[in-house]
Structure 1
């Protein structure tokens, strides 16, 4: 049985209005604040999985990704594609961006992309493109996948749980957003790349051309790892795991416990198939989980804030004020306000998972007042967070990739801002149209 269900918007509105009228006050003392993150881990929240369940899922999927990474299948597969396409670099751009987008939309591929810059930049420079083209292929490829997070465990899955819906709700809309934004992004990068290849002076890093050629072509190996049949099997199992997760949630009634069990079993199976051995399997799983320990703790801390807000009836006050403020807004205007609210919050809360746990318990119920489906709020959150993560200077992925590619941050902004405008218009149009078509939740 699922641990979550849709709330009755009218009933919730009545409850919060009643609480507001009674002016219930329950001040939270110092020790209440100290204990809130602890309570946030295991205290049940109505219609939402406990934070300990979500955190355990995050750690297990981190271990799963660690095992897949240790097998070398992802690195070898992308590197093999680069080698096979050498001499046809114009095709390399859409194919590699599709692979990176696949990683972004499924498991939030981000830090994992940093290893590919030293491989791709020499290939692109040798093909008479520039370092910025290579950076754009990787950063925008994975980034647009995260923007269109269809089943990203660290974005839509956690946000959906916090909103009281399944990530399968709204999946079609996110697939459409992903496809359209990916096509536009690929066309944007290919247009710039073709312009640079035809006239190198059009490059935004033309003043660094000689230095980059000397640095990357002379000092960086361009050989790719061997892509074996075993790597193919691992990638097939990797894809099947996510496919089974979608089936389980959509049809089988799965949620956090079942998904955690699935990824744990898949990690063990892939470790056996990849012949990692007991020691390396355990080590890679633990290392992968350790990399996401901070995310798991942030989820609990963010839930702790929700605990304080609920116990002190702050949430009721906010919901009452929100119900009043959205009363005059149309459904389309409301979802666009939510989108821009999440854009602003994403700058101040860089953790996608933390922002999901922090904002969804407030914004999702507000959607009930406006007659907007909660999954649309989740999609607005995912797209807004993904958009900001393409440019935020606090992101190690953005600044790290630009540093490896020797691309100044201000030139990256100069390059990417027209694309951001286009993607924003696409997302706003998609959210607005979906809101008008879906109407009031039932």
Structure 2
């Protein structure tokens, strides 16, 4: 008997979850008392000023308009996301990133320990700066055969790629899709808290590299210790005929220049958003850039890189540049839409005047707690929430308008609240089965999901403890 489609459970998409939350929040505006806070010059709520106001329930019309109004409210963030997508689309079209990684693999073939360190570091930089995730899928067919031929296994290769980039995202410094969006909705400079994020990035990658090298060494010394030892011969036959470095572009002078400009763009971005005045630095001017300036930066960088790639390449003209930019933007259209839809939740809460009431409940609770319990509980709160809303941008948009002001009441900086959010989201996205990056990489490597969990769970514990320690340290800096 064929099972009815209605009998099968499938996790709904992020859009459906967010629309459902909008409806629930609208219903709550009929139940939760309305209230307001007095605001300071920075538009932050002033503790102790909460007052009840007349209820303003939000009906079906408000629910339907919420995603639209949310998109209007978040238009600067959405446009930034689309331009970042176009920038990445142009860079990927040049083949510079693929050529760079392939050159590292070729250069360090036979010295795989060093290759583990260098590749994980490179993937970490990509994850920390621009949220490198889906882009890693292309490297599995290149890297897996190299490690298997060297006497390692497919789990080692997955660890290098998935943990390298994933721990980089967990320790995002200026990742526009995690740190950037969260900073926007928390209404703080992107550079706030970058020191602790850098600490988490470096500590996380050191843990990941040592963990991977320890396992790789064990497998090479005794192949029976491999978690996929039963597939050893099968994997050799499957992968060793598939290493094809010729399919990756050559790392020529032009592509090296593009990689330099690619890196320089993020260096300029970091300088533009760092609040140097707050650190007492006066010799170098603080630019106070925000989404409009950052959007312009990546648009100009896209054009410069496109022009350089077009030199000596008759097939890459104005039409191809525009096509690459538009295709890259199209790849991130879903992210931009999620930001708009999720912002609709805040629109309904604010229109129903229940945001202040939720904050007041948090303020009352936090008056009994200290700074350490608050930041630890914030991190723990975001872990299950990251399973529910796997989109980092959607999660930031939904939660930051509430969680960031709660940090004010607990005397915890908004930058540290952002760090707790992105760290929790990052650790979940190393293992969540709803991630196409995790499941796609494991499928290419022929590593069962249960085997990956068996391999990575100890590392998750270490990273969990390290992150909590870093967050507590961040309270005092």
The bucket for the TM-score relative to the shorter chain is over 0.9
Alignment counterpart, residue 238 of structure 1, candidates 243, 250, 262 = 262
Deviations 1:360-409 (CA, angstroms, capped at 9, x unpaired): 00100111111111100000011111110000000000000000000000
Indicate if the aligned counterparts of 2:408 and 2:414 stay in contact, CA closer than 8 A.
yes
**Whole-angstrom distance in 1 between the partners of 2:463 and 2:251:** 35
Where structure 2 has 5 or more consecutive residues not aligned to the other structure, the ranges are: 1-39, 275-285, 311-315
Alignment counterpart, residue 254 of structure 1, candidates 281, 289, 303 = 289
Q: How does 1:258-277 map to 2 (within 5 A)?
A: 258-275=293-310, 276-277=316-317
Alignment counterpart, residue 47 of structure 2, candidates 13, 18, 26 = 13
Q: Match for residue 343 of structure 2? A: 303
Deviations 1:396-429 (CA, angstroms, capped at 9, x unpaired): 0000000000000001000000000000100000
Indicate if the aligned counterparts of 2:102 and 2:245 stay in contact, CA closer than 8 A.
no
**Greater fraction helix:** 1
Where structure 1 has 5 or more consecutive residues not aligned to the other structure, the ranges are: 43-49
Secondary structure, counterpart of 1:274 in structure 2: helix
Give structure 1 regions of 4+ aligned residues with deviation exceeding 2 angstroms: 5-9, 11-15, 218-225
In the TM superposition, residue 225 of structure 1 has moved relative to its aligned partner by 3.0
Counting matched residue pairs gives: 421
**Whole-angstrom distance in 1 between the partners of 2:467 and 2:434:** 23
Q: How does 1:65-144 map to 2 (within 5 A)?
A: 65-144=88-167
For the pair 1:405 / 2:445, whether they are aligned, the reply is yes
Secondary structure, counterpart of 1:13 in structure 2: coil
**Whole-angstrom distance in 1 between the partners of 2:41 and 2:107:** 49
The TM-score, its normalising length taken from structure 2, stands at 0.87
* Cα 1:24/1:316, change in 2 over 3 Å: farther
**Whole-angstrom distance in 2 between the partners of 1:130 and 1:41:** 46
**Whole-angstrom distance in 1 between the partners of 2:41 and 2:156:** 45
For the pair 1:152 / 2:186, whether they are aligned, the reply is no
Secondary structure, counterpart of 2:241 in structure 1: helix
Alignment counterpart, residue 25 of structure 1, candidates 46, 50, 55 = 55
Secondary structure, counterpart of 1:26 in structure 2: coil
Indicate if the aligned counterparts of 1:6 and 1:164 stay in contact, CA closer than 8 A.
no
Indicate if the aligned counterparts of 2:146 and 2:243 stay in contact, CA closer than 8 A.
no
Indicate if the aligned counterparts of 1:121 and 1:216 stay in contact, CA closer than 8 A.
yes
Q: Match for residue 352 of structure 1? A: 392
**Whole-angstrom distance in 1 between the partners of 2:145 and 2:119:** 15
Q: Match for residue 184 of structure 1? A: 207
